[in-house]
Amino acid sequence: MKLLTFIIFYILIIFSVIGYGFIFRKIIGQKNTSNIGYSGLYGIFFITFLVYLQNYFLPISNLTNLLIHTIGIILFYYFYKKNYFFRSNELILLFIILFLTLFFILSAKPHDDFEYYHFPYINLLNNESLLIGIGNFNHGFRTPSSIFYFSSTFYLPIIKYEIIHIGSAFFLIFANLILLEKLIINKKNFSKFILILNLLTFSIINIFFYRMGEHGTDKSAQILMFLFIIEFLIILNHKKINLDNISNSVILIVLAASLKAIYLIYLIFFIIFIYYSSNKINFILKIVKSKIFVFTSVFVLFVLSIYFINTGCLIYPLSFTCNDNLVWSIPIVEVKQMNQWYQLWSKAGASPGFSVTNPEIYINNFYWVSHWLNHYFFNKVSDYIYGLLFLLFIVFVVFYKSSNNKLFLPKYWPVYSIIIILLLEWFANHPALRYGGYHLFALIFFIPFSIYLSNKTFENKKLYSKIFLVIILTSAVFVARNVHRISKEYKQYNYNIFVYPSYDKRFENYSIYSRINDAKNCSMNACGKGSVVSKKFIGKNVFFINK
């Protein structure tokens, strides 16, 4: 019974999200509204937008969430009955993906940071409207991700907190829909290069990112970056730059940056859009005046404002974005120390129970490279590259044909060059795979490999059958790896999907919310120095360190 309830809520929320995606695409006047997968991502964006706005005034409670998703389901039904945006083969594909992804969401153990700050942050959103200075309670509260706001809507009557950990599953589901729609339903509309790149992306996100407990806020953003580059290459291939066909790219980049602020750097790609547009000034003006620009700009302001309200910084831990004069601000010295720590950790200079003796010297002037190579590259990065090469070998064997063995990067050089630059930036500043390395390394291999295979001559029927074979193999590996994981979790955590299909409740952490409630009654006079205390400002609690 528990498993059935879990599955019903999971499916209903999916329909709700897609319903919001449909209405949002109509609101912004999008002409090309095919692909349920993109409707899903637009739905994530619009729900998250509404929830950011709501939380300025109200908690994201189970009753307001019930209202949100009831409206979403009604919207889905309305558009389904009107036959807007729907194709029967897409619905069949959606249900197949929902079934396969069920193995992904059944998990005893959520992400490692779930207990530390994911659950506490979501729990806070469900119980409180906007609080100022909560970065003083937990380091994780200083880097809030939009996925927490989206996931906070999964707190519902009956199911309670049992599915709030599956936010990353929605990004995987809709990404798979987008990729498979191109590979199976609309395959005749795309070049062989795009089809093969889609196929490789489908394979990597399902084989390498198969475990939900490893997603957190990082891998979902990188999945969006794969889609972003593919959309970019499609537009570049056609050289047809207009507002309608770049709106998907805009949503992808904004969603990714809201999950992890480092992806704001990818806005550099839009310089290419401007370069290839026929009337540059007119094109820029059209973008600025568009509804998609207004919504995404306000969304970015919401995200940055929460950073600022939590920490006193627009983007934590970039010290130049911080105002140290606000009562709730994290001290600049501490911000710089945390920035140093993030660099130290990503450059293999620190780990639980270990830190190099001279952090400032270590992270500068590439002194860290030899240690990083020995302790990180020849472990995680090299294993990942070997996995990529093995994937390419399997695909090569499936597609093997001896004719036309050439590699030529014509119009894709601008995109490929930027990817190389971004990989160098990644290496210099935050060389950990979770901080943007997964998709950059993959694309460095995938783009030339896809061009190489696309230069071979295939009959369409044979090409599509080979693509379908790789899709089946990838899906089988995805299910097999997750079944094996569930079996291990059954032994380790006594995890029984029929009795309790959600995560182990031991990972729920209510202690931070308890501390916040204690601090509400803790004034500067009542509590000693070093304690987090509070005072009221325009009806809101402001938390700060008593100095």
pLDDT in tens, 68-77: 999 999 999 9
Per-residue pLDDT at 353 exceeds 80: no
User: Quick one: DSSP state of residue 39?
Assistant: H
Bridge partners, 322 (sequence order):
313
The structure tokens 């030899």 sit at 370
Per-residue pLDDT at 521 exceeds 70: yes
- In this prediction, residue 244 carries a pLDDT of 67
Q: Which residues contact 159 (CB under 8 A, 6 or more apart)?
A: 5, 6, 9
Q: Are 177 and 198 in contact (CB under 8 A)?
A: no
Least confident range of 207-221, 282-296, 354-368, 406-420 = 406-420
What tens digit of pLDDT does each residue of 485-514 get? 999 998 888 898 888 899 988 899 999 999
Per-residue pLDDT at 252 exceeds 70: yes
Q: Are 415 and 272 in contact (CB under 8 A)?
A: yes
- In this prediction, residue 55 carries a pLDDT of 96
For the ranges 117-126, 185-194, 228-237, the maximum mean pLDDT occurs at 117-126
Per-residue pLDDT at 271 exceeds 90: no
- In this prediction, residue 210 carries a pLDDT of 93
Give the mean model confidence (pLDDT) for residues 263-268.
Answer: 88
Rounded to a whole number, what is the distance in angstroms from the first to the last CA of the chain? 53
Could you tell me what percent of the chain has a pLDDT over 70?
A: 94
Cα–Cα separations (whole angstroms), residue 130 to 59, 62, 122, 307, 537:
8, 17, 13, 12, 12
Q: What is the dihedral of CA 412, 415, 420, 422, to 10 degrees?
A: -170
Per-residue pLDDT at 414 exceeds 90: no
- Closest by alpha carbon to 340, among 322, 318, 357? 318
Give the mean model confidence (pLDDT) for residues 361-375.
Answer: 90
Give one DSSP letter per residue of 358-408, joined into a string.
-HHHHHSTTTTHHHHIIIIIIIIIHHHHHHHHHHHHHHHHHH---S-----
Cα–Cα separations (whole angstroms), residue 531 to 136, 141, 520:
10, 17, 12
Cis? peptide before 317, omega within 30° of 0 = yes
Specify burial of residue 498 (Cβ count, 10 A radius: 0-12, 13-18, 19+). exposed
Q: What is the mean pLDDT of the chain?
A: 90
Specify burial of residue 319 (Cβ count, 10 A radius: 0-12, 13-18, 19+). middle
Q: How far apart are CA 123 and CA 59, in angstroms?
A: 10
- pLDDT-derived band at 455 (thresholds 50, 70, 90) equals confident
Least confident range of 22-36, 56-70, 313-327, 380-394 = 22-36
Per-residue pLDDT at 235 exceeds 70: yes
What tens digit of pLDDT does each residue of 276-320 get? 676 777 777 878 888 999 999 999 999 999 999 999 999 999 999
